[in-house]
Structure 1
Amino acid sequence: MAPETGTAIRFENVGLRYGLGPEVLRDVSFEIENGSFQYVTGPSGAGKTSLLRLLFLSLRPTRGIVRIFDHDAATIGRDVVPALRRRIGIVFQDFRLLDHLTTYENVALPLRVLGVDEENYRRDVTELLDWVGLGDRKWVHPQVLSGGEKQRAAIARALITRPEILLADEPTGNVDPPLAKRLLRLFVELNRLGTSVIIATHDLSLMEQHDARRFVLNAGHIDVYD
């Protein structure tokens, strides 16, 4: 289901703090249009991961307005959050693969949760694993995968539902340059098909390979460069 307007995400003067600590995000304002592509960059500790957590609705702002698919994150009911999250794919830095499932089963998990029959997704999962270079690792468990292989499995899991928004936290941080370039092409192709892509990264060479809007975070503030 497409968002009701052309704007998928809107932040208005958003502030975020953890407990009684200082604000980690301050007066952050921007809009993300449907089908757009952008990078979030900045030094370590600038607030990139916190920003992604707000986008995934796992945090609520301390102040200001966050709207996702025309829903106000501050007032949204708990019963609505799971349905909105199903429209968002996310690649975490710590992968969050389930150790008791094979690579294939981890990637297929979002579709299983949605109640899709395996006969309707087996081919898609297999083709996506082949594309990210894990075709020969689909029946092994995460414990025997390298860091880069776990990263690729996490990316495949985030992409398998063809989400309306893809959030990726350092998605190429554990892979070599040729594979990073290949994964970037996958993100670009997904964006071409209509998904809004938001990649948090330190990798300047990655950003140089595909020109897109940059959100630069520094000490909790954000500058947007189109």
Structure 2
Amino acid sequence: MIRFENVGLRYGMGPEVLRDLTFSIEPQSFQFLTGPSGAGKTSLLRLLFLSMRPTRGLISVFGKDTTKLAKAELPSMRRRIGVVFQDFRLLDHLTTYENVALPHRVAGKSESEYRPDVIDLLKWVGLGDRMHVLPPVLSGGEKQRAAIARALITRPEVLLADEPTGNVDPPLARRLLRLFIELNRLGTSVVIATHDFHLLEQIEARHLILNDGRLAVHV
């Protein structure tokens, strides 16, 4: 589904922040991305989401060489990838419900098609009573859950999550992990970047370990 071959990334004229990355994300796989702060996890997620191009090497996504993709092709590719950013990226003028429903609205679906799914998912992540609240009123943990729901609502082929349990308590973190596991069972490949060692112990999964820009894979 996603393949990296000898990928390197640098910002401007600085040193490489990622180097010689060779690995693959298989269909219906589940993996944690770990490593110390500054190791390059967020940069790697950006490459996976196609929001950046590598300085060198090959990245293939859904069978296509991303270095040869035209800019016009990127949006349709990204729609197959769900992503949860650390800064949430919720739109403050839209309610929680509207933020989560936004991917369906952008895709041109009618509200009657997606409304039941949006409501059910918001209830599942504990935001059933916060559907009509604007993001500035939400707590950090509530914003985190809304961002997760928005990423999951379209049942993406790949889900990328950057510290998705960083602002929630342990019981909710376990509940969200169960949601990721269920999504994986339905066919979505999941990549979770996390520092939460308790989360890592909850499921047997492959570990992609970044350290000083290099990657080790532990199964």
* TM-score band, normalised by shorter chain: over 0.9
Please name the residue that 1:63 is paired with.
56
Shift of 1:68: 0.6
Shift of 1:65: 0.4
Please name the residue that 1:102 is paired with.
95
Instruction: Tell me whether 1:135 sits opposite 2:128 in the alignment.
Output: yes
Gaps in structure 1 of 5+ consecutive residues: 1-7
Quick one: distance in 1 between partners of 2:145 and 2:28?
A: 23
Quick one: distance in 2 between partners of 1:225 and 1:199?
A: 15
Q: 1:159 aligns with which of 152, 174, 179?
A: 152
Instruction: Tell me whether 1:32 sits opposite 2:25 in the alignment.
Output: yes
**Residue type of the alignment partner of 1:27:** D
State the TM-score, normalized to the length of structure 1.
Answer: 0.96
Quick one: distance in 2 between partners of 1:70 and 1:188?
A: 25
Alpha-carbon RMSD: 0.4
Please name the residue that 2:140 is paired with.
147
State the TM-score, normalized to the length of structure 2.
Answer: 0.99
Please name the residue that 1:20 is paired with.
13
Give the number of equivalent residue pairs.
Answer: 219
Q: 1:169 aligns with which of 138, 162, 172?
A: 162
Gaps in structure 2 of 5+ consecutive residues: none
**Residue type of the alignment partner of 1:158:** A
Quick one: distance in 1 between partners of 2:25 and 2:136?
A: 37
Shift of 1:82: 0.4
SS at match of 2:6: strand
Quick one: distance in 1 between partners of 2:142 and 2:65?
A: 36
Quick one: distance in 1 between partners of 2:47 and 2:78?
A: 12
Identity of aligned residues (%): 73
SS at match of 1:52: helix
The C-alpha deviation readout for 1:195-224, integer Å capped at 9, x for no partner, is: 000000011110100110000000000000
SS at match of 2:87: coil
Please name the residue that 1:123 is paired with.
116
Q: 1:221 aligns with which of 201, 207, 214?
A: 214
Quick one: distance in 2 between partners of 1:192 and 1:102?
A: 30
Q: Where do 1:38-53 residues align within 5 Å?
A: 38-53=31-46
Moved over 6 A (4+): none
Quick one: distance in 2 between partners of 1:205 and 1:73?
A: 35
